[in-house]
Chain A
Amino acid sequence: MAFDKMELRDVEVWDGNHAAAQALRQAQVDVVAAYPITPSTPIVEGYAQFKADNYVEGEFVMVESEHAAMSGCIGAAAAGGRVATATSSQGLALMVETLYQASGMRLPIILNIVNRALAAPLNVNGDHSDMYLCRDSGWIQFDAFSPQGAYDLNFIAFKVSEDHGIRLPSIINQDGFMTSHTAQGVTTITDDDAYNFVGKFKPMNDMLDFEHPVTHGVQTEEDWHFEHKARQHSDLMLKVSPKIDEVFANFEKLTGRKYSQVECYDMEDADLCVFCLGTSVETAREVATEMRAKGLKAGVVGLRVIRPFPFAQIIEALKDVKAVAILDRASPGGAPGAMYNEIAGALYNTEYSPLLSGYIYGLGGRDLTKANLVDLYNELQTNVDAGKVTTQLQQFIGVRGPKLSFL
């Protein structure tokens, strides 16, 4: 029984979860092995409904845990086909062991992470703690700022990951609730165009090719382990970045939508920059425009590709600014924020030295308000006027109690 195609309107009103589920349907994934968890559950439910309504021909395996979900994805990917899943937070934490195995085994799996806080205390709302939890897992990592991004980046991720020169899995992050459950206009791609863009899956080292048996997941000790890890890192550093640019360019040709590894907004002549991820990027852009009207030369840098970290593009984006506020939406656990460290690391040893200040915000779904961002731009201007960072390097935004700052 052939599967049915779906007629989509040019613009559909979708939340991020539905946008991701639609993208998985259009990519005609062969196996989805998944386990539900708030706030990513609707991706899994949506896909199950597509299967129930004959819009999906592949297998949908509803397993008994997130660890099993990724384990099943790894087995399926090694067998030789297109594979995807979705999770959040605690589920991702349970899955983390297998993330390293998937990337180490060079299996092009696509994982949608709907970002959510990590317990304790238990919390179902959005922050980036889970995103950072798998930061070093060797996966390519994208960040959607909106449902449109959650939709588009899935196609882009399949195209990058499944390339035989890459063969590394990809994560697409979207903010829990703010993106995943907030319906917005999403400009669609037709089923045929979407599938043709992603292309037919081309197997490599597939277990189901019985004429060429293959051994996956071997043991290496001090004799070979380092070389395997070095090769993987080398491919991330040298091959993935140009491939992403190539796929971004092809995607723009198809849709007119332009993506960049580092998304700059009003940065051409900016003195003040807010650097952030997720839905905060759009809020910051609004505030930057308002600050421009008040005479501040405000801009925003949003990180579209978290891994491989776009080192050169970050330097290029920030080289002429005078002050940068780096926003981290995860508890830093006794250190500067992860992104603060990475930006500082990128700019060190360059001739550029904008004033850097770090901000921890939005944990457990706490709103980042426009008023917060207005204060932040004003603080950056104060720093520029003083020629130094006038506050401590790490401040907490929007937390109750006395002002919290460190370093």
Chain B
Amino acid sequence: MSEIKKIKNLKEFSTSADRFEGANLLCPGCAHSIIVREILNATNDDLVLSASTGCLEVCTAVYPYTSWDASWIHIGFENSSTAIAGAESMYNALKTKGRLKQPDRNPKFIAFGGDGASYDIGFQWISGCMERNHNMMYVVLDNEVYANTGGQRSSSTPIGSSATTSPSGSISYGEKMNKKDMMGIMAAHNIPYTAQVAPNKWKDMVKKIQKGFATEGSVFINAVSPCTTEWKFDPKDTMMLTDLSTDSLVFPLYEVIDGKEWNITYRPKNVVPVEEYLAAQGRFKHLFKDEYKYLIKEWQERVDENWAYLQRREEARV
């Protein structure tokens, strides 16, 4: 069992030795790099990492350069989960056979994927890994769109958002489907630990990640990752957008232990109206036309309903 890294304050945290280098090609203001650093810096243990095809991958491992000072693998769009499960299986095999080069280490196996790679094309692979309960953490960098390929809708894209394959237009308000409840689906795998995190709430995030690292078995993390390019906001406002997402309860922060024990981990003192969250992003701009304002009302009702649902789950312990 490895020791849990003690993190006193943000300054110390942000100056931890980086195993994910600032030298990468991600957009200025991209939340991906913030989330990845917060996760990697939550431990001093060795890391074995993977990424699916997507923004994180194409911006961090362009030959002959790499932004990763830890072992890292990319195979394809759909299989970062299984890639790391394979590496974890090899670790177990070599441990049994006494062939590990550094047998005294406690490596952490982490797979990263965007919402396209996770909610859509790689869904089955993640489900398989979680069902088999590999000792690994799967992290969704959830920016609710296929950002790397220019803003196509995914099953994480929320209703009313304008994406390039579900654009708003003279007769359309954009995306017609509600965001898939990936957290609920993953919790239903009855894996040891499922959690939703946000980079602005770094203490909450670190606590959950460290809890995940201390867990034997599969851990699923959904991280809200505001996308300056596709959500259409000023790169300097990433943290402001993240604050709006958590404080409007559009992205409630909670965890699920063993599929049963639901705990809300952040209750905003002042809940922000969803309208403010929507208004801060270009992808929802058209919703503020008179004919679509009913959608904003529906948005608020849906968020309220979900918050009430989470509280009931928390209370019920089932």
A residues bordering B, Cβ < 8 Å?
30-31, 33, 57-59, 61-65, 67-68, 71-81, 83, 97-98, 101, 105, 203, 206-211, 213-221, 224, 228
- Residues on B with C-beta less than 8 A from A72 are 82-83, 85-86, 89
Contact among B57, B68, B73, B85 with A219 in the assembled complex (CB-CB below 8 Å): B57
A208-B101, A220-B63 given; A64·B124 CB < 8 A: yes
A79-B87, A207-B87, A208-B87 given; A30·B128 CB < 8 A: no
Contact among B58, B79, B97 with A67 in the assembled complex (CB-CB below 8 Å): B79
Check A33 against B89 for contact (C-beta < 8 Å): yes
Q: Which residue of A lies closest to B62 (CB)?
A: A219
Check A213 against B69 for contact (C-beta < 8 Å): yes
Check B73 against A75 for contact (C-beta < 8 Å): yes
List B100-128 residues whose CB lies under 8 Å from chain A: 100-102, 105, 107, 124-125, 127-128
Check B63 against A31 for contact (C-beta < 8 Å): no
B64 close to chain A: CB less than 8 A: yes
A157 to B204, CA, bound (A): 50
Distance to closest chain B CB from A222 (angstroms): 12
A387 to B100, CA, bound (A): 66
Contact among A73, A216, A221 with B74 in the assembled complex (CB-CB below 8 Å): A216
A65 to B123, CA, bound (A): 12
A246 to B102, CA, bound (A): 34
A60 to B74, CA, bound (A): 22
- Residues on A with C-beta less than 8 A from B48 are 79, 207-208
Query: Which of B69, B72, B90, B131 is the most central at the interface, judged by chain A CB atoms within 10 Å of its CB?
Result: B90
Distance to closest chain B CB from A137 (angstroms): 14
Contact among A31, A105, A203 with B93 in the assembled complex (CB-CB below 8 Å): A31
List B281-309 residues whose CB lies under 8 Å from chain A: none
List B36-79 residues whose CB lies under 8 Å from chain A: 46, 48, 50, 57-58, 61-64, 66, 68-76, 78-79
A selection of 13 A-B contacts at a CB cut-off of 8 Å is A61-B132, A64-B128, A64-B131, A72-B85, A76-B93, A209-B71, A210-B101, A210-B105, A210-B107, A211-B101, A216-B74, A217-B73, A221-B62
B residues bordering A, Cβ < 8 Å?
46, 48, 50, 57-58, 61-64, 66, 68-76, 78-79, 82-87, 89-94, 96-97, 99-102, 105, 107, 124-125, 127-128, 131-132
Q: Which residue of A lies closest to B132 (CB)?
A: A61
Closest 4 CB pairs of A and B: A75-B86, A64-B128, A79-B90, A207-B71
Q: Which residue of B lies closest to A61 (CB)?
A: B89
Distance to closest chain B CB from A125 (angstroms): 28
A75 to B83, CA, bound (A): 4
Check A210 against B102 for contact (C-beta < 8 Å): yes
Check B127 against A64 for contact (C-beta < 8 Å): yes
A111 to B69, CA, bound (A): 32
Check B75 against A76 for contact (C-beta < 8 Å): no
- Residues on B with C-beta less than 8 A from A78 are 73, 83, 86-87
Contact among A68, A213, A220 with B82 in the assembled complex (CB-CB below 8 Å): A68
Contact among B50, B66, B79 with A98 in the assembled complex (CB-CB below 8 Å): B79
Check B83 against A71 for contact (C-beta < 8 Å): yes
A65-B124, A75-B73 given; A219·B82 CB < 8 A: no
A76-B87, A218-B66 given; A30·B76 CB < 8 A: no
A61-B85, A64-B127, A216-B72 given; A224·B93 CB < 8 A: no
Q: Which residue of A lies closest to B69 (CB)?
A: A213
Distance to closest chain B CB from A356 (angstroms): 40
- Residues on A with C-beta less than 8 A from B94 are 30, 79-81, 208
Q: 16 more A-B contacts (CB under 8 A) besides A71-B76, A203-B101? A: A31-B90, A33-B82, A57-B97, A58-B97, A71-B78, A71-B82, A75-B75, A75-B85, A79-B90, A80-B90, A101-B76, A208-B107, A209-B101, A215-B66, A218-B61, A219-B58
- Residues on A with C-beta less than 8 A from B86 are 31, 33, 61, 71-79
- Residues on B with C-beta less than 8 A from A74 are 73, 75, 83, 86
- Residues on B with C-beta less than 8 A from A80 are 90, 94
Check A81 against B85 for contact (C-beta < 8 Å): no
A73 to B105, CA, bound (A): 23
Distance to closest chain A CB from B23 (angstroms): 13
Check A218 against B74 for contact (C-beta < 8 Å): yes
Q: Which residue of B lies closest to A80 (CB)?
A: B90
- Residues on B with C-beta less than 8 A from A68 are 79, 82, 124-125, 128
Check A215 against B79 for contact (C-beta < 8 Å): no
Distance to closest chain A CB from B38 (angstroms): 20
A65 to B125, CA, bound (A): 8
- Residues on B with C-beta less than 8 A from A79 are 48, 86-87, 90-91, 94
- Residues on A with C-beta less than 8 A from B46 are 210
Distance to closest chain A CB from B36 (angstroms): 15
- Residues on B with C-beta less than 8 A from A220 are 62-63
- Residues on B with C-beta less than 8 A from A206 are 101
- Residues on A with C-beta less than 8 A from B61 are 215, 217-219
A30 to B292, CA, bound (A): 58
Q: Which residue of B lies closest to A29 (CB)?
A: B93
Query: Which of A77, A211, A217 is the most central at the interface, judged by chain B CB atoms within 10 Å of its CB?
Result: A217
Contact among B68, B79, B97 with A71 in the assembled complex (CB-CB below 8 Å): B79
Check A63 against B70 for contact (C-beta < 8 Å): no
A97 to B82, CA, bound (A): 14
Q: Which residue of B lies closest to A74 (CB)?
A: B75
- Residues on A with C-beta less than 8 A from B99 are 81
Contact among A33, A65, A207, A228 with B73 in the assembled complex (CB-CB below 8 Å): A207
- Residues on A with C-beta less than 8 A from B90 are 30-31, 59, 75-77, 79-81, 83, 208
A76 to B78, CA, bound (A): 17
Check B102 against A211 for contact (C-beta < 8 Å): yes
Check B87 against A224 for contact (C-beta < 8 Å): no
Distance to closest chain A CB from B288 (angstroms): 39
Distance to closest chain A CB from B158 (angstroms): 28
- Residues on B with C-beta less than 8 A from A210 are 46, 71, 101-102, 105, 107
A208-B94, A217-B75 given; A224·B82 CB < 8 A: no
Q: Which residue of A lies closest to B59 (CB)?
A: A219
Contact among B68, B76, B85, B107 with A97 in the assembled complex (CB-CB below 8 Å): B76
